[in-house]
Amino acid sequence: MRDLKTVKASQANMTQLVLPDETNMLGNLLGGQLMHWIDLVAAIAAMRHSKRVCVTASVDEINFIHPVKQGEVVTLLASVNRVFSTSMEVGVSVTAENLLTGETHHTNSAYLTFVAIDETGKPVVVDPINCESDLEIRRYKEALRRRELRLQRRIK
């Protein structure tokens, strides 16, 4: 029987201070830099859950809701939303904080799919995720919808 692991057990978080060389001419965090951080924290959550090396299979969505300014602190929280045999959807929520005012705001959301692999690079089956809260159950259900849409786009 496979182990049931909780969402919280595999969550990963990362905190970064936005420095001048990570911003554009407007003083906003570069989208590519944020995407790099999102991929890293999501990979950590996927590997923490699967106890395997995981590779990025797709990036379904990255929504840039609010710009992040130089000098703000970015916090990224990654959670495994659902496991599909050898793949996992990982959601990443990004918030920014102005340390001088204490103001925080949600800036980005992203959904990525990772595949767990063995030593030869072959996909391996991953233990399922155990949802404990209403929010985790909602994300679990929504992950299936996103997967179905992704597979439809791949077929076309």
Give the pLDDT of residue 15. Answer: 98
| pLDDT tens string 110-139 | 999 999 999 999 999 999 999 999 999 999
| pLDDT tens string 30-73 | 999 999 999 999 999 999 999 999 999 999 878 889 999 999 99
Kindly provide the residue ranges of all beta strands, DSSP E only, lying in 10-151, ordered along the sequence: 12-17, 53-64, 73-84, 87-97, 104-117, 129-130
Give the pLDDT of residue 1. Answer: 42
Contact 71/18 with Cβ under 8 angstroms?
A: yes
**Confidence band for 156, pLDDT divided at 50, 70 and 90:** low
The residue range of the domain holding 50 is 5-155
Question: What SS3 class is residue 78?
Answer: strand
In degrees to the nearest 10, what's the CA dihedral of 116, 47, 31, 155?
20
Please give the tally of structural domains in the chain: 1
CATH number for the domain harbouring residue 146: 3.10.129.10
| DSSP letter, residue 30 | P
